[in-house]
Amino acid sequence: MDLSKVEKLYTENIEKFGIDSRSVGWNSPESQNLRFSKLLEMVTDPETPFSINEVGCGYGELYKYMLTHAYAVNKFTGYDISDKMLENARIYLGNDSRVDLRKAAAIDTEADYSATSGIFNVKFDEQADRWEDYIKEMILNMHRFSRKGFSFNLLTSYVDFHAPDLYYADPAVFFDFCKRECSKKVALLHDYPLYEWTIIVRK
Ligand SMILES: C[S@@+](CC[C@H](N)C(=O)[O-])C[C@H]1O[C@@H](n2cnc3c(N)ncnc32)[C@H](O)[C@@H]1O
């Protein structure tokens, strides 16, 4: 998938807003954190040390969230396609031996868990069926590199307004895909006050 427009969008955002939830497309830190709390429901025992990959880590707010909410994360591998995001993540997260930040569009490190938040929302002018294939590829990538589970979120198709450059996903399609291709243990969270849903897959 050509992600050059996505990379440009987030690079421009971080240049404009700096370390701020608006840089990663969220209109408030509260909504950014609500997403994290849903994605992290996959962690069965937050007090037992675990490793986690994040695809599209932005400036690293998920890692900060885990530290401030007493998650015993002992290794965080954050991937992003934007050099500027990674540069800001290095500043924001400081010198922490548990953190590894990498420039790549998919995971290549095994961890207990993997998560991703918001990377599938802006498709620009990509065809919807090609974007759906890309999302499924990324789901299989997270599945392959996660020992215990993974989670992701998407804008919901249960809306009455569609912006042409965004992708609104039918949760039933992705629930079915995860059940058939990844694991029997799949949870769909679609009961929180955003026009989005989260899927959690446990192994
Ligand atoms: C919506 S922002 C969310 C950032 C972070 N997850 C958060 O919630 O604070 C998406 C980020 O993912 C990056 N990104 C998008 N697609 C990606 C991919 N396939 N691999 C790695 N990074 C990606 C973008 O550059 C951007 O920094």
Query: pLDDT tens digits, residue range 96-120?
Result: 999 999 999 999 999 999 999 999 9
Q: Is the CB of 107 under 6 A from ligand 1?
A: no
- Ligand 1 atom 11, closest CA: 56
pLDDT reported for residue 100: 98
149 lines ligand 1 (CB under 6 A): no
Report how far apart, in Å, the C-alpha atoms of 180 and of each of 177, 183, 186 are.
5, 7, 10
Give residue 145's pLDDT: 98
- Predicted local confidence at residue 141, as pLDDT: 98
Q: Which domains does the chain have, with CATH numbers?
A: 4-118+125-149 (3.40.50.150)
Overall average pLDDT of the 160-188 stretch: 97
Q: Is the dihedral of CA 11, 16, 20, 21 positive or negative?
A: negative
pLDDT tens track for 120-142 = 999 999 999 999 999 999 999 99
58 within ligand 1 shell (Cβ under 6 A): yes
What pLDDT does residue 77 have?
98
